[in-house]
Amino acid sequence: MLRKALSSQQLASRIEAYEEAQNILEKELPILPLASSLRLQAYRYDIKGLVLSPFGNASFAGVSREKHEEVKKP
């Protein structure tokens, strides 16, 4: 199909061949993700309100840091 589309000089014939190839791929191939990435997250006990999206972005709108007493060394 692809060779037929590439060798054709007529646009309508090329479109038809590419559509046929696309239909074959849709029927025969499993669905696979096009991209994936490793996602690392860090945690701090004094950071509150961070919302992480399953799509990889984060909203910092409500993020705050809790104040805590520091222990002074003698």
Number of domains in the chain: 1
**How does 4-23 read in b/e, with b if 16+ C-beta sit within 10 Å?**
ebeeeeeeeeeeebbeeeee
- Tell me whether residue 50 is in a domain: yes
Kindly report, residue by residue over 16-74, the tens digit of the pLDDT.
Answer: 999 999 999 889 888 777 777 777 777 788 889 888 877 778 888 889 998 877 656 66
- Tell me whether residue 72 is in a domain: no
- Tell me whether residue 35 is in a domain: yes
3-state secondary structure at position 28: helix
- Tell me whether residue 70 is in a domain: no
Provide the pLDDT for residue 43: 79
Provide the pLDDT for residue 70: 66
- Tell me whether residue 26 is in a domain: yes
- Tell me whether residue 43 is in a domain: yes
Instruction: Give the count of alpha carbons within 13 A of 71, CB side only.
Output: 1
What sign has the CA pseudo-torsion 46, 48, 53, 59? negative
- Tell me whether residue 56 is in a domain: yes
- Tell me whether residue 15 is in a domain: yes
Provide the pLDDT for residue 74: 63
Residue span of the structural domain in which 36 resides: 1-65
DSSP single-letter state for residue 69 = P
Task: Identify which has the larger pLDDT, 14 or 41.
Answer: 14
